[in-house]
Amino acid sequence: MAIKVGDTLPAATFMTSTAEGPAPISTDDIFKGKTVALFAVPGAFTPTCSAKHLPGFKEKADELKAKGVDSIVCVSVNDVFVMKAWGKDQGIDGEVLLIADGNGDFTKAIGLDFDGSKFGMGARSQRYSLVAKDGVVTQLHVEDAGQFKVSSAEYLLEQL
């Protein structure tokens, strides 16, 4: 069953890229005591993710923060090295924290995984955005397959 508004995000450990190299980062590190805009993409370097999803959150970072968001986080079922390369390719410089859910454990735990095997992608995350306050989901916007509307930075801004 998929996570819903009012649920607490499950404990998980992700990987992120730091100046010292790959490092684990927990849900507590990300969400505890903060208002976080989290969005998920099916894959780094995929067309919609690279042309619209991540760039939209980078572009709207200041507006989101002005509406009370402490941090903006992008999660994908990719490895930390892919996420680092994607961040570099997209010119991400602190506006968005990129985290890798390499095995998809978090994605499965919140019930927003899908099987992309017919596209050669294996297990992946559905496209969504959410807002969590101290780890509790206050907004959740899950896209229908093949769509990009309700998970965008613009849509999230309208909801805040």
Alpha-helix runs per DSSP H in the chain: 27-31, 47-48, 54-59, 61-66, 80-90, 105-109, 153-159
Angle (nearest 5°) at CA 87 between 33 and 10: 35
- Type of residue numbered 2: A
Our answer to whether residue 74 is catalytic in this structure is no
* Catalytic pick among 15, 25, 49, 140: 49
Distance CA 83, CA 81 (A): 5
Give the CA distances from residue 17 to residues 45, 94, 100, 152, in Å, rounded to whole numbers and listed in that order.
17, 12, 9, 24
Distance CA 55, CA 52 (A): 5
Active site residues: 49
